Structure 1
Amino acid sequence: MKFPPQFLLILATLLWGGNFVIGRAVAGDIPPITLAFLRWCVAFIVFLPLAYSRTKREWHMIKNNWPAVIIMALTGVACFNTLVYIGLHYTTSINASLMNSSTPIIIYILSFVFLKERLSKFQIVGTALSLTGVLFIISGGSIQSLLSFSFNKGDLIVLFAVFCWAVYSLLVKQFAGQLPGYSTFLVTIALGALMLLPFTIYELLTTSVAIVWSPSTICAILYVGIVASIIAFLSWNTGVVALGANKASIYLNFIPLFSAIFAVIFLNEELLLSQIIGGIAVICGVVISNRKK
């Protein structure tokens, strides 16, 4: 059965929205680095049969771009979700998902700084508006917090995670013609899990958070490892191929919407006015910056 690309893109953002809520829900049952490590172990086991033969054929392409693949594994696999799960110990899933929406803006900034790409007037206005929205979210709408720089450390950790994802996305964009998608994804999963292994061992030996092997914890690991990683990834890629990257990127704005709905329903999180105003500013900034004329 063939699904419309719009449906696949919305499905992917729905599943990614659930990832933020799951990470927050099991914060007290499993340490964050361990959760990230188990996520990618599950994802590798599931994805290996799907991409193994393709990876063997395309290995020479990965080998020729080895430094980029390592950095992609570090930023997109090892760092991004790990930092998100750490940040979710200190902030809400709504805040985390709202700041994740600023990813395109950070990509524009990095492209301007490192690749010397010129920003259009829409990108400049959109960037300013989105960054204002991010500041509004992490400050809780308090001018006093902005003046005293007393931000929630969980928000700042998630913001750094978004920076890592922006670096990863930029590399994916730069090496799109040189690196095959599925094979590179499989290799970066394996490398990212290996990078996380020593930190996971250290965390398990030193943390005060013991793993609670309950049905909910196991389901959470399976969700983030299979649903949020493999199913969402395949749905997103299929939709992007059909509609194009520019049109598809707008759909990322559904992530905070779904996260907020799930968080209010399942975690009893309160949707604050500062989150609504900041979220609208972030999303409007992204929409404006994607305008061509």
Structure 2
Amino acid sequence: MKRGIMLLVVATILWGGNYICGRYLAPALPSNLLNTVRWAISSLLLFGLLSMNHKRLPLFSQWKKFALLGFVGIFAFSTLTYLGLRSISAAQAGMISAGIPIAILLFTPLILKERVKAKAWTGAFLSIIGVVILIRGEHAANGHSSIVGEIEIVLSCIAWGIYTVLGKRFGKTMDPLTMTAGAAVYGTLFSALSCIGTVRLNMIHMTPLAWLSVLYVSTFASVGAYLAWNTGVKIVGAGRAAPYINLLPVWTVIFGILLLRETVSILSVGGGAVTILGAVLASL
């Protein structure tokens, strides 16, 4: 159990860095191209890990599961996150992501057929209020804060909630490495298809820092974090894993302030705290 908890914490730290790199890469690459490059590299690394462990990737026999996981967890979640980070701060995006456990809660009875208690729904309502306060706080303190960017991050939270619950369901018959690799391949394919007709050469502006950021999101924030999260969920269960995603906004705010010199309004911090409190209550 302790090993599972440690893996969940490590995953949130690595994902916190992903939000920072997403901000750095916003002017360097279109979001869907960034996601394609990121997961193409990650897929190769995952193939290598599978080969080292003498495992076969059933890309065709399990294509429905991999395609579903790849669409929601690789393509939708990551692309929406990078889209949102083009117009809002990493700290703000991180605090909105505190609503991820609510998305997990909403889809648990639909996909896993598990009963959700009244206390959990109370926490969900409280968390939604917190997100509203957070967004209003950012608009009050920063007039050009983008409502579109905020909606994109909210939608990414919903995508990750679906991915987590599906991962728990499919994890009963599939190990985390195989599941992550299969999802990565199909997610890369969806991302590549989305680039057709939407990406032009004059939209690419790479710098040495941008290349380092791509390297980070393709390794630590992809292979490392996804394997850590999937393994942790398998060890402790989806319900117990849910509260640990609340560490993500904490790391993101800290990294945003230290590395990007971002500022956060008092009202937004209060909204983020209410969101986290509601999410923890919902996950108990």
Scaled to the shorter chain, the TM-score interval is 0.7 to 0.9
> What's the counterpart of residue 121 of structure 1?
118
> Structure 2 matches for 1:47-66, cutoff 5 A?
47-52=46-51, 57=56, 59=58, 65-66=62-63
Q: 1:66 to 1:55 in 2, by over 3 A?
A: farther
> What's the counterpart of residue 69 of structure 2?
72
Distance between the aligned counterparts of 1:180 and 1:7, measured in 2? 19
- Contact 1:39–1:225 (CA under 8 A) maintained in structure 2: yes
Is 1:84 matched up with 2:81?
A: yes
Q: TM-score by structure 1 length?
A: 0.85
> What's the counterpart of residue 222 of structure 1?
215
- Contact 1:138–1:151 (CA under 8 A) maintained in structure 2: no
Displacement, 1:73? 0.9
Q: What code does the residue aligned with 1:134 have? A: V
Distance between the aligned counterparts of 1:282 and 1:51, measured in 2? 38
Distance between the aligned counterparts of 1:219 and 1:102, measured in 2? 29
SS in 2 for 1:28: coil
Q: 1:233 to 1:117 in 2, by over 3 A?
A: closer
Question: 1:17-64: per-residue Cα shift (whole Å, max 9, x none)?
Answer: 1111110122112211111111101111211110147685462xx655
> Structure 2 matches for 1:67-216, cutoff 5 A?
67-112=64-109, 117-140=114-137, 152-205=147-200, 210-216=203-209
Give aligned pairs, total.
Answer: 279
Displacement, 1:245? 4.6
Distance between the aligned counterparts of 2:257 and 2:64, measured in 1? 42
- Contact 2:168–2:237 (CA under 8 A) maintained in structure 1: no
- Contact 1:54–1:183 (CA under 8 A) maintained in structure 2: no
Is 1:272 matched up with 2:243?
A: no
- Contact 1:17–1:259 (CA under 8 A) maintained in structure 2: yes
Displacement, 1:139? 2.6
Question: 1:219-260: per-residue Cα shift (whole Å, max 9, x none)?
Answer: 011100101011223333454555555444332211111110
> Structure 2 matches for 1:2-41, cutoff 5 A?
6-41=5-40
- Contact 2:57–2:178 (CA under 8 A) maintained in structure 1: yes
SS in 1 for 2:171: coil
Match of 1:255 among 248, 262, 273: 248
Q: 1:259 to 1:287 in 2, by over 3 A?
A: same
Match of 1:234 among 209, 222, 227: 227
Q: What code does the residue aligned with 1:109 have? A: L
Q: 1:15 to 1:178 in 2, by over 3 A?
A: same
Q: 1:151 to 1:119 in 2, by over 3 A?
A: farther
Give the superposed CA RMSD: 2.6
Unmatched segments (≥5 aa) in structure 1: 144-149
Q: Percent identity?
A: 29
Is 1:281 matched up with 2:270?
A: no
Bigger-Rg structure (1/2): 1
Q: What code does the residue aligned with 2:177 have? A: Y
Distance between the aligned counterparts of 2:102 and 2:54, measured in 1? 32
SS in 1 for 2:199: helix
Distance between the aligned counterparts of 1:142 and 1:220, measured in 2? 29
